[in-house]
Structures are given as structure tokens and as C-alpha cells.
Amino acid sequence: MRVWKQWTDECRTTRKSGSGPRNVTSARDDRHLVRMARTDRTASSRQLAALWSIATGVSLCASSIRRRLLQCGLRARTPLYRIPLTHDHRRLRLQWANQHRDWRADWQHVVFSDESRFNLWYHDGRIRVRRYAGERHLPECIIERHSGRTPGVMVWGAIAYHRRSQLLRIVGNLNSNRYIREVLQPEAVPFLQSLPGAVFQQDNARPHTARIVKSFFAAQQVQLLPWPACSPDMSPIEHVWDVIGRRLARDPRPVASADELWNEKQLDVNYHQDIVVLDASTNT
């Protein structure tokens, strides 16, 4: 009714300039607030409000902090996560990249391998439950927190140019002896031998770099691709694990054990299907 009355009386529906609540901060205050937020990018609005009160002696609520920063273009978003790298890590990664930047057909002979772990539950750490007041302690409103490693399935796989190995399930902790007995001998070496001139890539995990493993590679005449430490993001097989993880996260069927995750969710089938999808997208 107020809009209609405004239209009939004033022939407009917009608010008058200057109407509405006034800003509680000046332009100078906003610049100071932006500097504080940019100094500590992870500070919450409540923390910034406390810092503001200490610095200026003026109280400012958290909602006003959020509103002023948003008006200034600073929006709270999910951060980008990365592996912590030291100066030496960065130097060795750059050195490796410079050494291999002129490779062309050589990449067709590289076999990229890796282990990955798929957990029973996939969430971002911010799960919410819908409940009424007083239902906080209902069993269906409680999520169990495991103090140890989250139950799941560890797998090993390898990919090459238009080829892939079988997906192996690894039960328990993987040491160097098991790596040779359960991965290299039955699957990795035969896969490499089926590819003339194959070069094997693996990361620098302890089971991969043990003396007994190096001796095994020498005896089998396996050519290794040197790999910089802390560089899983540089291996294309990580894309395979990512696609499988996303597929599992979209699957609504609940699983109660690692065996169900392996059998019911058909990890090995997803592995082969997702590699085909990635290969097709690369060639288009």
C-alpha cells in the first residue's frame, strides 16, 4: 500500500536519497578496517571487532564489520588449500619442471602411479542437522567422531598414455616388503613390461624409496622418473582420484564398512570408467 500511495502521490517508487540507516563508520574508518582485515586474512568478524575496539576505543558489532567489509569488496570465502612447501621444495619443483619442459613424446612412456585413500564419509567438516529446540542429544542428531584414522579403503593404481593398470586394494599399512609383494610384483612390473620403454613414476613415500625397493627396481631393470618431494599435484593420476572421490560423494547409498565401500560402490569399476572419461575429455 505504501508503494501504491507513493506512486499516486509522487509518481515514483524509489526511496529518497539519504534514506535508511547511516553508516556507523566514516570513509577513513573503512580504510582502517580494510587494512586490519588484509593484515590477518583469516580473522573472523568477531576478532576484528575486538581488535577495532582496542585500536579505536569504539565498540563495533560483528555484523557491522561484515557489512562494511562487504561494502568495500572484501567477502568471506572458502580459502584455497595447498601443500605447505619449503624454499627447498619450491626450488626442486622448479628445477624438475625446467629439466622436463622440453619433453614431447617422452611423456607417452611415463607410467604415473600412486596410492589413494577413500573414506566412508565425505564432508567438508561443516555438517548441519535440522532439529527442534531440546533435540540436541537425540541419537539421530549426533555424529560420531573418530579419534583415529577415518575408516576407508586404500588403493593403488597406475596410468599411462591410453593405458591403465588394475586398481589394487591395500588392506592395512603398506611397508616396503608389502609394496614389492602386493603391488610391484603382481601388477606394476607386468604393466611396465607391456609398455616398451616405460618409465615408472612414484612419489617419495618411505615404502617407495626403501633400499630393498631400490634393489628390486635395479634387478627388474625398471627405469624411474625422478620426482620432487611434496608434489602430488604434479601427477596426472591425482585427477583420477579426484573424479572418483567426487563420484563417491554424489552417491547417496550409505556404507558401513570398508568392504561395502569397495564392493557396493565398485571402486575398481569407477576407476576404469573415470579414466575413460578423462581420456575422452583430453582428446576433445
Q: Does residue 4 sit within a domain?
A: no
Residue 174: alpha-carbon gap to chain centroid:
23
Domain count, the chain: 2
137: left (phi over 0), alpha (psi -120 to 50) or beta: alpha
Strand partners, 119: 152
pLDDT digits 0-9 by tens, 41-99: 888 888 889 999 999 888 889 899 889 988 888 887 767 667 788 999 999 999 999 99
**Cell numbers representing residue 158 in the block:** 597406475
Q: What is the dihedral of CA 278, 279, 283, 284, to 10 degrees?
A: -40
Structural domain of 68 = 24-73
| pLDDT 10s digits, 123-173 | 544 556 667 678 777 776 776 555 456 688 999 999 998 899 999 999 999
Same domain, 52 and 167: no
| 5 assigned to some structural domain | no
**In a shared domain, residues 52 and 149:** no
Task: Say whether both 63 and 101 belong to one domain.
Answer: no
Task: Read off the CATH number of the domain in which 150 is found.
Answer: 3.30.420.10
Domain-located, residue 230: yes
Do 138 and 206 lie in one domain? The reply is yes
pTM of the model: 0.70
132 and 64 within one domain: no
Check whether residue 131 and residue 252 sit in a common domain. yes
Does 131 lie in the same domain as 157?
Answer: yes
